[in-house]
Structure 1
Amino acid sequence: MREVTDPGLPKAVREFLDQGGKHVVLATAQAPVVDGALPLPDPARAGRYARVLVAVADRADLRAAVVPWAVRAPVVALWVGALASSPGLLPRPEWPPLVAFRTQPVGEGYLVVARFAQPVRAANVVSELARVSVWPAPQAAGGLVVDDGSGPGGPVEERDVPPDVVLGDAVHLVDPVHPVHPVHPVTGRAAYSTGVPALTESLDERVFNPTGFVADVDGPVQPLESLVGSWPGGRRPDEAVVRGLRGARGVRGSWQRPEDAAFVVSLAMSGVPVSLASVSPAVAASIDADLLAALVAPVDLDDVVAREEHSIVLRRAAMRAHSSAAWRRRMAALAGVRVAGEPTVSVVLATRRPEMLAFALRQVRKQRGVDLQLVLAPHGFSADPDVVRASGLDRVVVRPHEESVPFGDVLADATSAADGDLVLKMDDDDWYGPDFVTDLLMARAYSGAQMVGTSAEFHYLVPKETTVRRGHKAELYAHFVAGGTILVERGLLREVGSFRSVRKYVDAQLLRAVVRTGAAIYRTHGLGYLLRRNAAGHTWQVDMDYLLDPVRTADVRPGFAPSRLLTYDPSELPTHAAG
């Protein structure tokens, strides 16, 4: 038996490597140090081994790791230096049988060992472990084909079409920064080379996102300077740091070093309320202008709502400019290829109240940054075509129903006329901010959930002329979202049989059906949504005193007082409030 002589290795790792047979250790640049490890990426590495150990720093490093395609072994181990919870693995159906799987804590992380009946590609096992390290969802490339540097899966043949983008210097012809690739006869274009060997210009939104954000905290404000310190090359993004800041009111300071950009952006993407007094000119030149404006905007971090509003503005700007999806859009433009945009959305709007029609249409029309279709379902009346035309909506389908038709059937029929990738149920009397739909799409992208929605954080009690903030938890996977905010994949809606044929509790029945499929529901922030409570006319009947009970409220404000993110026109105010 060959023994590993490095006494600094954790016992579990040392024992794995001390077993007999030929082995290889592959490690990323940020991974724990293992003597003799080969640095990744290493596309030229090939061969069959008794065991392969891949070492990475954390979950972000795992999801970015590029393992050589041609390395095989019956035993594949993954050592993650820092990880909050134990990994799991459901073997792919095309793999040989998984005969043993073991995880054990190692320091602040875990060692995972997977043993198969026959040799497997280590790259496939690591890729699957990376995929399921977040809530599993398809890796959406958007149509952009990227050579990640893992090497070809077999001999390159004439019919093999080259990628759109090559990470690093795959060829060296003219420009050492952006090498010139030959024009391929199949694509009619040359591949674009980034000149760098990894996705260093973006951050993984599945790892760095606001999941776990806490609205009401009493922790201190942390100085930015103490977080970035004097790390050579800049402080790298770190999930553990983000988790440690969840109880802090925020981060303040001055940003002087451009090399800390990835770290600061990771805080912003994660919803950490960062407020900067100043930035150096070098920093200002290296960061997205909208994100920079959000970072230096004044904010009262002691105000619960203002703090969360600031967090939302930060995460929106950071995701738009610095996420992996944003990187794909930039690369597609440079490579001259088309890439999939945001999914299309069909809004399903059922209403029994002709007097609310113009108001409801205005809430749909004000949505920005999204491709919308409206399926309007008047329930018990005929919609005035002049009112529909006056809304200015481009794509409207009207599906009227008699008053006797159950509400669930009205929604199911409206859904059958939807042509969007996603279906969004909106209510006719609630207020929606202009970024309501784009926030839901953003939450869907970073959560991987098949259904997303918001909490009913703000209620406007019409008889009391009072706004109530409920203090609901948000930015978490849950079994409940507000009925007027449900965004669901159209295919999943079809699989569960659409909205159930019931007269009430339609939303609860759909949520329950989705959970039964094993799909995930994610609840994002509710600051762009305001639920209207009249004295009567709701499927969920509840006494006003119930909603005003101090046990169920975080704040009560006189009059119409939603979050500033709602952004409403004076014409949308309740009649008595407008007066």
Structure 2
Amino acid sequence: MISEIRATLDEVLVERDLAVAVVACAGFDEPAQLVGGLRDSTVLVNLDEPVPELPAVADGIAVVVRTPADLSWIAGGTLTLPSSRRQVVHLVEAPAWWRPPLPFAAAGFATRALGSLRAGRHGDSGWILEAHFSAAVPAGWLLRSLTASSPAYGEEPLVDLRSANPIGFLAEPELGPVRLTVRDGAILDGATRVLTLPRSGRLGESDIERLRPFHSVTVDWHDAEPLAAARLVAGLAAAGVPLRAADVPAEQRALLGTALCELIETVPQDLLAREEHSIRLRRTALLAHAGITRLPSVSVLLATRRPGLVGFALAQIGDQRGVDVEIIVAGHGFDPAPLAGVGVTTLECAGNVPLGAMLNLAAERASGEVLTKWDDDDWYSPDHLLDLSLASRYSGAELTGTPAELIYLEGPDVTVRHRWRTETRQDFVAGGTLFLPRTVFDAVGGFRPIPKTVDGELLRAVRQAGGQIYQAHGLGYVLRRGRPELHTWQEGDDYFLDRAVSRWDGRRSASHASTSASSALDIAST
């Protein structure tokens, strides 16, 4: 890492023989040891400490950050860095799933002054961005454009949602439990240093990724500074790291809150129960400590040709919690109004109107910021829409959904579980869970007005437009599978049985199948 950083500085600053240069570092214990011998005219700044007065303009500036979290941290702060025509950002450690650090397009002088931009991988997991401007531009503009951040004011939350989130969660860990001790700025497994704890207590994406392979993490935090320790635990919980930190000191308990402290008393051994535990952890920590003051309103689009299932579907939508929900029901060949009740928007479509056209008509009547598709015969957790709202927020994806991980087969009356790699960017999610902002829906033209494969066509349109699709956890949704001829996906029961990693008689939700005493999902048993 040291050689990589010094090579960067030699290339873009030292060899250019600049009269005044600034090297600003964040996320490192000893920046001076990292950067090596700089020219006397170069100012070295540790952004993790109080920053001295800096020149207003520099001939060149290099910002060296350890993780994307450090980049977001300084970009969202109020620190004023010098203006310069030559600017370099070196991100040293980034997880494999992290996107390249490319600036977001923005109007204004800085964009007009941009002369050239070069980005490339550097080392095992790093990135370098080099920008040249025709006139001196504040370095803060480039940093904020890389993270889509604006200066943050007011009380600082314990969790930075951009770095501490469930992306990359492993449902099948490779290693057993680990016990970590926080001591002298390090996180130790026995006498072995596992991670360096930043002074703030905020772990970066790469730090969290190193802990993913463990079945669970037990934190012994009594030697840590209270606020840094609370940030560490809240960040791990928000990331969904199966976490145990019993006997929480009073000061940390006051910072974390009772609900989260109760969840970190134990971690189940059963892998399915462990994942449920992770889902409860992340949901609680994100809502309490990630600074989320408002979630978008959601319009649920229900298109159905089965009057007998309208009540079943509406009951589940009505059970959704934590989100502002609007319901639009489109009846295929019948009027759903008598079945829908007060507060539900309804429309009747002729029997020859294709499914895609029905959904578009329902979307025209929707006023929510987000649209989501709902299937009339499947089962949904009461936290289904809340979890998708959170996943959409922390992933930044244009479309979010879940896999069909739990499938109930009506013929043999069994529930099977398929293995999916969740909490990742994918090309596909279950059609009954499509969740996307109205702006994205309109941008891709909505659903194709066809009778079948409308879900797949919408996913394809988002991909072709350059959008990302994110697959959240699959334990809040159970797909009902009847006779094959009734489905677009016309595979027989054997197809699903042969690919199952688990199987249970009757219909089961994840909580019924696991050994946990309480349900993280609470899927209705109707």
Q: Against the structure 1 CA distance between its residues 107 and 360, is the aligned structure 2 distance closer, same or farther, given a 3 Å change threshold?
A: closer
1:295 to 2:264 alignment: yes
C-alpha contact (below 8 Å) 2:68/2:204 kept by paired residues: no
Q: CA deviation at 1:30?
A: 4.1
1:286 to 2:255 alignment: yes
1:409 to 2:364 alignment: no
SS in 2 for 1:54: strand
SS in 2 for 1:522: strand
SS in 1 for 2:247: strand
1:270 to 2:239 alignment: yes
C-alpha contact (below 8 Å) 2:237/2:281 kept by paired residues: yes
Q: CA deviation at 1:424?
A: 0.7
1:211 to 2:218 alignment: no
Tell me what 1:374 maps to. Answer: 327
Which letter does structure 2 place at the counterpart of 1:271? G
Tell me what 1:173 maps to. Answer: none
Matches within 5 A, 1:140-151: 148=152
Matches within 5 A, 1:157-236: 165=153, 199=156, 201-225=157-181, 228-229=187-188, 236=202
Whole-angstrom distance in 2 between the partners of 1:38 and 1:253 = 32
Which letter does structure 1 place at the counterpart of 2:321? R
Q: CA deviation at 1:289?
A: 1.6
Which letter does structure 2 place at the counterpart of 1:17? L
Q: Against the structure 1 CA distance between its residues 362 and 232, is the aligned structure 2 distance closer, same or farther, given a 3 Å change threshold?
A: closer
C-alpha contact (below 8 Å) 2:405/2:474 kept by paired residues: yes
Whole-angstrom distance in 2 between the partners of 1:68 and 1:283 = 29
Q: CA deviation at 1:68?
A: 4.6
Tell me what 1:547 maps to. Answer: 496
Matches within 5 A, 1:63-78: 63-65=72-74, 66=77, 68-69=79-80, 71-78=82-89
Structure 2 residue ranges without an equivalent (≥5): 33-37, 512-519
> What are the Cα deviations for residues 478-497 of structure 1, in whole angstroms up to 9, with x where unaligned?
11110000011112212222
Q: How many residues align?
A: 482
1:12 to 2:29 alignment: no
Q: CA deviation at 1:91?
A: 6.0
Matches within 5 A, 1:153-552: 165=153, 199=156, 201-225=157-181, 228-229=187-188, 236-256=202-222, 257=224, 258=226, 259-296=228-265, 298-301=266-269, 303-325=270-292, 329=293, 341-383=294-336, 385=338, 387-389=339-341, 395-535=343-483, 536-549=485-498, 552=499
> What are the Cα deviations for residues 271-311 of structure 1, in whole angstroms up to 9, with x where unaligned?
11112343333432331221111111x4323x221111011
1:27 to 2:25 alignment: yes
SS in 2 for 1:124: helix
Whole-angstrom distance in 2 between the partners of 1:312 and 1:505 = 31
Q: Looking at both structures, which has the greater relative contact order when contacts are Cα pairs under 8 Å and sequence separation is at least 6?
A: 2
Q: CA deviation at 1:240?
A: 2.4
Whole-angstrom distance in 1 between the partners of 2:311 and 2:145 = 49
Taking only aligned residues, the RMSD between alpha carbons, in angstroms, comes to 2.7
Q: Against the structure 1 CA distance between its residues 526 and 104, is the aligned structure 2 distance closer, same or farther, given a 3 Å change threshold?
A: closer
Could you state the TM-score of these two structures normalised by the residue count of structure 2? 0.84
Which letter does structure 2 place at the counterpart of 1:543? G
Q: Against the structure 1 CA distance between its residues 124 and 235, is the aligned structure 2 distance closer, same or farther, given a 3 Å change threshold?
A: closer
Whole-angstrom distance in 1 between the partners of 2:289 and 2:3 = 40
Q: Against the structure 1 CA distance between its residues 80 and 253, is the aligned structure 2 distance closer, same or farther, given a 3 Å change threshold?
A: closer
Q: CA deviation at 1:465?
A: 1.2
Whole-angstrom distance in 1 between the partners of 2:121 and 2:509 = 48
Whole-angstrom distance in 2 between the partners of 1:431 and 1:80 = 43
Q: Against the structure 1 CA distance between its residues 496 and 47, is the aligned structure 2 distance closer, same or farther, given a 3 Å change threshold?
A: same
Q: Against the structure 1 CA distance between its residues 233 and 217, is the aligned structure 2 distance closer, same or farther, given a 3 Å change threshold?
A: closer
Whole-angstrom distance in 1 between the partners of 2:456 and 2:93 = 38
Tell me what 2:139 maps to. Answer: 122
Structure 1 residue ranges without an equivalent (≥5): 1-5, 132-138, 142-146, 149-164, 167-193, 330-340, 573-579
Which letter does structure 1 place at the counterpart of 2:365? A
Whole-angstrom distance in 2 between the partners of 1:495 and 1:111 = 32
SS in 2 for 1:123: helix
C-alpha contact (below 8 Å) 1:250/1:272 kept by paired residues: yes
Whole-angstrom distance in 2 between the partners of 1:91 and 1:356 = 47
Whole-angstrom distance in 2 between the partners of 1:107 and 1:534 = 49
Could you state the TM-score of these two structures normalised by the residue count of structure 1? 0.77
Q: Structure 1 vs Structure 2: percent identity of aligned residues?
A: 33
Which has the larger displacement, 101-110 or 242-251?
Answer: 101-110
SS in 2 for 1:48: coil
Whole-angstrom distance in 2 between the partners of 1:110 and 1:67 = 24
SS in 1 for 2:491: coil
Whole-angstrom distance in 1 between the partners of 2:163 and 2:199 = 22
> What are the Cα deviations for residues 176-200 of structure 1, in whole angstroms up to 9, with x where unaligned?
xxxxxxxxxxxxxxxxxx5xxxx4x
SS in 1 for 2:137: strand
C-alpha contact (below 8 Å) 2:4/2:123 kept by paired residues: no
Which letter does structure 2 place at the counterpart of 1:433? S
